[in-house]
Amino acid sequence: MRIIISGGGTGGHIYPAIAIANELKAIDPATEILFVGAEGKMEMEKVPRAGYKIVGLPVVGIKRELTLANLAFPFKLGQSFLRAQQIVRDFRPDAAVGVGGYASGPLLLVASMKGIPTLIQEQNSYAGLTNKALARWAKRICVAYPGMDAFFPADKIKLTGNPVRSDIQSADQQTDAGRILFSLESTRPTLLVIGGSQGARTLNESLEAGLQRFVDAGVQVVWQTGPAFIERARTAIAATGSPLIKAYDFIYEMDKAYAVADAVVSRAGALSVSELCLVGRPAILVPLPTAAEDHQTKNAMSLVEQNAALLVNDRTAREELITAALNLLNNPVQRQQLSTEIKTLAKPNAARDIAEEVIKLTK
């Protein structure tokens, strides 16, 4: 099989794509996979790190505000279609998979025009613009939430859940390794804070203002800040004079990070929600209010309504988040209840189910 996987822009698109690729290779090691991303976006670094070849399109998105950069959009889009045609012609895929993001639009449209079967994987509870536009040509649409027939033709939908990296599924076996990696003490409670691959300003500023409260409570914090905030975080940590707070611009070994966490504070991106369900960690979700169509709040509420997670609003997080986190860490009964409920929402076979749908298309 020869498969193209296209999309990216955020970890929420990239890591499911890599999980699908890994599963395709596990089923048939002879499968040839080519990724197609957007030039300058994070997939151009993350995908090769996972061992796959990637080529970039010059495609860009449209800014919501009026800006001169929008004038380049039609030219970049035209260039991307021409490049996508060349990629498809040279690689000759048996199927193409789109995971959302700018690059998947031109690539999947070109593949469809050439009669190559396409599959869309939609991670969120509110469908993205690119996937909605591509749905009419897709042969199969794999979704993570019920009710997605509001966006896609019902006869094309398959509810699979979101694919999660295989190492995440074995996180519980990594507790000792995680404590060594992050230099943690086994006798202290540990809070993991993750704001997505680029970090989250609200979470970062909330943590920054409340670090001393964690130190005073004897709580260890593993804090993924994103690259833009890391130096500021290190300065704030140094001011406490405590070794209990550990800041990282990006955490690659997330299985070990989840393994050591007694509770997690996170945005509510689709990938984070799916990973939290799989590892069964009690979580406080702080949805990004500017996400398209407020889809992160919808993602979060799918857990909150099942008593599987707690929610703190972004606008009140700076006043409420630290207290909520400390209260959760101090309430083992609540943590156990949340952990039990969130595990019931996990779909551990999502990557395999999607890979099998891709294989069906090639036949």
Alpha helix ranges (H) inside the chain: 11-27, 43-49, 73-91, 104-113, 129-134, 166-169, 175-182, 201-217, 230-240, 254-260, 270-279, 295-304, 317-329, 332-343, 350-362
Tell me whether residue 18 is annotated as binding: no
CB 59 within 8 A of CB 72: no
Please say whether the dihedral angle defined by the alpha carbons of residues 37, 43, 45 and 46, taken in this order, is positive or negative: negative
Tell me whether residue 226 is annotated as binding: no
Tell me whether residue 357 is annotated as binding: no
Q: Using the structure block, give the residue that is written with the tokens 């794999």.
A: 142
Tell me whether residue 270 is annotated as binding: yes
Tell me whether residue 251 is annotated as binding: yes
Tell me whether residue 297 is annotated as binding: no
Token representation of residue 63? 């800014």
Tell me whether residue 124 is annotated as binding: yes
- Residue 298 CA to residue 206 CA, distance in Å, equals 22
Tell me whether residue 188 is annotated as binding: no
Tell me whether residue 320 is annotated as binding: no
Tell me whether residue 9 is annotated as binding: no
Spatial neighbors of 126 by CB under 8 A, at least 6 apart, are 151, 292, 293, 294, 295, 298
Tell me whether residue 165 is annotated as binding: yes
- Residue 285 CA to residue 127 CA, distance in Å, equals 20
Tell me whether residue 296 is annotated as binding: yes
Q: Using the structure block, give the residue that is written with the tokens 């999980």.
A: 19
- Residue 354 CA to residue 358 CA, distance in Å, equals 6
- Phi then psi for residue 345, to 5 deg, are -95, 0
Binding-site residue numbers are 10-12, 124, 165, 197, 251, 270-275, 296
Binding-site residue numbers for UDP-N-acetyl-alpha-D-glucosamine are 10-12, 124, 165, 197, 251, 270-275, 296
